[in-house]
Structure 1
Amino acid sequence: MGQGNGNAPPHAIDKRGEFLKGHPPIFKHSADPLQADDWLHAIERQLEIAQCDDKEKYLYASGQLQGATLDWWDSFHFGRTEANPIAWAEFRSAFCTHHVPVGLMKLKEFLALKQGSMTIAKYRDKFIQLSRYAPTELVDKALVIENKCRQMEDKKRTF
């Protein structure tokens, strides 16, 4: 009787299995905010591939926490006073606030980046990786300064 009537709920897809297929990294703790941010980006990539909804995102991501970071998460989760379920944006924001402080990221490696013995391709890749932490106006100023330096070098060569 009830078969084929179109009223049956759709078959649930095991998104956790799909998420884990990509071997998402575990995060325990790191003093380096770049590692925390890299973990978050890797997790977000796997969550998107698995097409997770908001609730699944925070559940699966928090399932990849261990050690001191899991202790932080348990404390955050326990101390939360809102009745609403945790949204991905809230998890992401709390994680970044605690593990990837904005002020530190702005100043970290980006400001100290030098080509040194790196190839241009490696330097470019490192610049792109670190530029996500720099405010746009800082990148714009760096580009203007670089352009002025090139112009000065060109003038020196003509003399």
Structure 2
Amino acid sequence: MFEGGANPMVADDYMEQVETQLTSMNVTEDHLKIILATYKFTKDAKFWWKLITNQYKVEEVSRDKFKELFYKKYFPASNKWELKNQFISLIQGNMPVTEYENKFTSLSRFAPEMVSNEVDKVQKFISGLDYKMRPLLIAQGIKFYSEAVEKALMLEVEAKDKEARREQWR
């Protein structure tokens, strides 16, 4: 279901989910894609779609035009720019590695050119990690993102264990 609203990530997730479902169902005709995509609209999204259908004949709207209208309403360029900047400036800070990795993955879709290959993705991920972890991971010459995440998680567990032992000795 898609209600509309102000959260652009929800809109983008909805559109991605619809695209995946339509591809798996092998729907090829644009007007059928649009009918199926709008079938789950509720509340504000349903009202918005009614306004659009007053302006356009659904049969004459291409899939690309539908997506353009949808994104203009629910995910304007200013939001994309803001999310791209959030990715560019993303650092771990006080987040656990799992939370940092989830944000990294979620926001990376807005700056695909920065993670277009494994080397760039690994470098960007490591560069945002806690300053104590970075040199340890850089020195290992990690080539795969999954390996970088796994090793960062291991370093985090080790750091927590070390801190627990320190507290135990006090």
Task: Return the TM-score normalized by structure 2.
Answer: 0.59
Structure 1 residues 105 and 138, CA gap change in structure 2 (3 angstroms): farther
- Corresponding residue of 2:78: 103
Structure 1 residues 47 and 101, CA gap change in structure 2 (3 angstroms): same
Instruction: Using the aligned pairs only, state the percent identity.
Output: 24
How far apart are the structure 2 equivalents of 1:60 and 1:83?
12
- Corresponding residue of 2:97: 119
- Corresponding residue of 2:161: none
Q: Is the 8 A contact 2:8 2:74 kept in 1?
A: yes
Structure 1 residues 114 and 137, CA gap change in structure 2 (3 angstroms): closer
Aligned partner (choices 69, 76, 79) of residue 94 of structure 1? 69
Alignment of 1:73-84 (within 5 A): 73-80=49-56
Residue 72 (1) aligns with residue 42 (2): no
How far apart are the structure 2 equivalents of 1:97 and 1:133?
16
Q: Is the 8 A contact 2:31 2:59 kept in 1?
A: no
Report which structure shows greater RCO (CA 8 Å, sep ≥6): 1
Offset of residue 65 of structure 1: 0.7
Q: How many residues get paired?
A: 122
Question: SS of the residue aligned with 2:33?
Answer: helix
Offset of residue 83 of structure 1: 9.0
Between 98-107 and 130-139, report the one with greater CA deviation: 130-139
How far apart are the structure 1 equivalents of 2:22 and 2:115?
31
How far apart are the structure 1 equivalents of 2:40 and 2:58?
24
Q: Which has the higher helix share?
A: 2
Please, which runs of 5 or more residues in structure 1 have no aligned partner?
1-25, 155-159
Moved over 6 A (4+): 137-140
- Corresponding residue of 2:168: none
Q: Which has more radius of gyration?
A: 1
